[in-house]
Structure 1
Amino acid sequence: MRGPARSAAQFFPATLTIPHLQEAAASCTGCDLYQRATQTVFGEGAFQATVVFVGEQPGDQEDQAGHPFVGPAGKILDKALTEAGIARRDVYVTNAVKHFKWEPQGKRRKHKKPSAAEIAACRPWLEAEVQVVQPRVVVCLGVTAAQSVFGKVVRVNELRGRPWSTPMAQTVFVTAHPSAILRHPEAAQREEEYRRFVEDLKRIRRFLQAEAA
């Protein structure tokens, strides 16, 4: 007989604020990923942000630093936000899964995609972040983020380029994860995918401007 499903929800603080959630998440054992991760990497940014960006999980550098999007993918995101006219200080960045999942590759720690059960176990943290921040738009960076926000398996290319409504957030956009841009072996293809990513961000900025008009 199986035991009760584990979830982040059992670690929630009495008061839902970002600082309280960050503190509570530091001791989360809602799935097994905490056992091999250095630390919980919770979301950061403007507590009343207009836009919340959701990635997959912390990478190696994020796991060591304790902050989201500070590695190579974070640099791509920062550059694209600047080109799109969106200030990083005005957004909130987080991940669908708060612990780094990895497997050894020589002396390196190679990123490993989180499972559906791990995404589901960590989903309450993301729900709480969106509930507290109350952004006008949630942006899913990649398929794992979209799976968490939509609550089901989805395809990025089928959702990309237009706003959607989900139970977690009223307005959701889906685009590629910056790390996917970096994985393309050819420079021309990386540049093409980066341009497409910037255009997605510009579309989000225009959407917000039209809503505010």
Structure 2
Amino acid sequence: MAQDVDPERAEVQGLAREAAECRRCDLYRAATQVVFGQGPADAALFLVGEQPGDQEDKAGRPFVGPAGRILDQALAEAGLDRGRLYVTNAVKHFKHEMRGKRRMHQRPNQGEIEACRWWLNREIAVVQPAVIVALGATAARSLMGRPVVLLREEGRPLTWADGRPGVATYHPSAILRARDDAARTRTFAALVAALTQAREMAGDFLRATSKARMG
């Protein structure tokens, strides 16, 4: 007996297969593979990071390295189940430079962000999330279509360029780079607070939508 196929899930999988052959910028040349988003195709919350890191590039999955472990801790403290979220990156290939035998992260430039926004917009169009969280300035820039000053906007409710609500907060890697324990504690607390806020925003949106449908 044939299994029922979730059309949205199938569409996300189709996008991932297309993206595997992406040549919209030159980042594919040095990367191991494209790292596409993962999560339920009907997720209410949609998280966007900057780009895959070294471990994500090798595994082909987002947020599986040290920053991913920080994110998982923050999600747990915010009362969120990662399995119910869609998690992706603004840029799908790992941009890096070699230092000896190590591959060191490099921030994507505007052209690379713009080239990959085509894929991000298609992910959002399929998933149709209630709330989008930008993890870091690169993700916020991709979603807003212009630079976002994270220190000014962090923790405030935002409306992204496509009209969807969301928040911008620190990328988990900022916690790893923090200069001391006090800075790490502050940055982690801000990340948890933003994720908690996003969870509440999504709940409010879904309740309002449900009421409207019941009429």
Instruction: Give the TM-score taking structure 1 as reference length.
Output: 0.89
Deviates more, 1:74-83 or 1:182-191: 182-191
Deviates more, 1:165-174 or 1:28-37: 165-174
Contact preservation (8 Å) 1:137, 1:169: no
2:66 pairs with 67, 72, 84, which one? 72
How many residues matched?
198
Aligned to 2:191: 197
1:128 pairs with 122, 125, 132, which one? 122
| Residue type at the aligned position of 2:161 | P
CA distance in 2, matches of 1:156, 1:176: 8
Secondary structure class of the residue paired with 2:129: coil
Contact preservation (8 Å) 2:67, 2:172: yes
Shift of 1:206: 2.1
* Moved >6 Å (runs of 4+): none
Aligned to 2:22: 28
| Residue type at the aligned position of 2:41 | F
| Residue type at the aligned position of 1:86 | L
Shift of 1:169: 4.5
Contact preservation (8 Å) 1:102, 1:109: yes
Shift of 1:145: 0.3
| Residue type at the aligned position of 1:83 | E
Shift of 1:43: 0.4
Shift of 1:198: 0.7
Aligned to 2:85: 91
Instruction: Give the TM-score taking structure 2 as reference length.
Output: 0.89
Unaligned runs of 5+ in 2: 1-9, 209-215
Contact preservation (8 Å) 2:131, 2:201: no
User: CA-atom RMSD, angstroms?
Assistant: 1.3
Unaligned runs of 5+ in 1: 1-15
Deviates more, 1:152-161 or 1:175-184: 152-161
1:60 pairs with 51, 54, 63, which one? 54
| Residue type at the aligned position of 2:40 | A
Q: Does 1:110 align with 2:111?
A: no
